[in-house]
Structure 1
Amino acid sequence: MFPGLCGMVDSGGPPTKRTVFLLSGSLWTAPPDLIASFGSLVECLGGGGGGRYTGGGGGAYSSKANALTPGSFYLFTVGDGGISAGPGGDTWFGGATFGASICAAKGGGNGYSDAFGNHGGAGGVAASGIGDVTYSGGNGHNRGGGAAGPNGAGKDADDSRGDNSLGGAAGAAGAEWDATHGSGGGGLFGSVNPPVSGSPGGDGGLYGAGGGGGGGPFGTTPAGGLGTQGIIVITYWS
């Protein structure tokens, strides 16, 4: 017991900071021992767009502070990574739809099916997000665009090309939250000297990164790299 506070139970120690990573599912329940007065943070990262001949765009980032209530139920959706030539999915938390949520981030756009005049998929747009802080994902080019994250906007891809007939390398994984959870780098372009059938683009790095564009001679249809899924990160004290 604390002196002068009748009825308070001694927890046996100071409050502990907790971090939860939501990668799938649709419902999260805030623990009853969450201490709202210590603050909380919900962070959303949209899925990365898939590449085609050009790279896909990176997912956008949004965060919302102090919006959690102990014992409350929260609906959420984690955006999928885009398949080859497919857009990344939107990520949101605290509502049945994007617009009804308390925190939401857009997915990245898909790469184009031809490279003539096209510079890759657009990154998820910060202005379309919901939250206290929003950042845009990186735009794709030959490579995939990087995911946005808590440190700022995603990196725009450049037009550099690999020289690997086996296909482009995967993008680097981010580590903003811990060693295995962060905003990923875009996948690399397939190849400047591909085999006759073309070579695929590299997949984006976890999480929210755009896939690289596939390389190949004129008339071939090499697969673009896959965009990577989004993520929701919840931080609170209990």
Structure 2
Amino acid sequence: MARKKSFAVIGANNFGIAVAKTLEDKKQSVVVFDFDEHRLNSHLAAMPGVVGIVLDATNKTSMEKAGIKQFDGIIVAFGSNMEVSIITVLNLLDLGIENIMAKAKDLRHKRILLALGLDENQVIIPDIISGKMVATRSMFDIDIDVQSVDDDFISTTMIVSDPGVIDKSIQESRLTANKEWNIIQIKRNGKVILPDEKTILKKDDQIVLFAKITAINDLILKIQGDESLFEN
């Protein structure tokens, strides 16, 4: 299991709260900063493991006094207010902080954040990511959980339900890693298994895999079976 880390989420909007909730679910230490105390209290009422601190992120001195440098990761969740986002990122960079992830509302906003000094992988546009996932999922014969997607590959989870692979090894099931796919891990009864080709597949195993988009439908048939095509 990865070591517990501390994260600062700056901005208690829907995106920031979704990030904070996910980190809390992963047993990480999370503090959410926002200038609006009412918004903080209302969002965090159902998240007892998350600390909320009232803070104006455009004030560099206040950020430094709040101990912003202590965190392992900082997520700047502002998007609709580009000016606040830019000033917040500038303040973090002025304080010598590099472990930043920032939300951008569009490509123009992203270009500005990149010009400030952030790397490509430090800036995300949620609408573009969501759009890619929706478009990709629509290509498949059934609804599956898509964790990430790029132009050629996706990360997804499938449930073992086809009798043809149950109680057989990955090798026997012809699911050994190749250029088309790779099984990353198997979740079984709350435990995580790092598989090899001799690992036996059990009914209801959750297979987390990284695969080419063009191979997904065939993998669905192999792992979940024909009946999955007609489930809703």
**TM-score tier (shorter):** under 0.3
Q: Give the TM-score, by structure 2 length.
A: 0.23
Between 1 and 2, higher relative CO (CA 8 Å, sep ≥ 6) is seen in 1
Q: Which has more helix, going by share of residues? A: 2
Q: Which has more strand, going by share of residues? A: 2
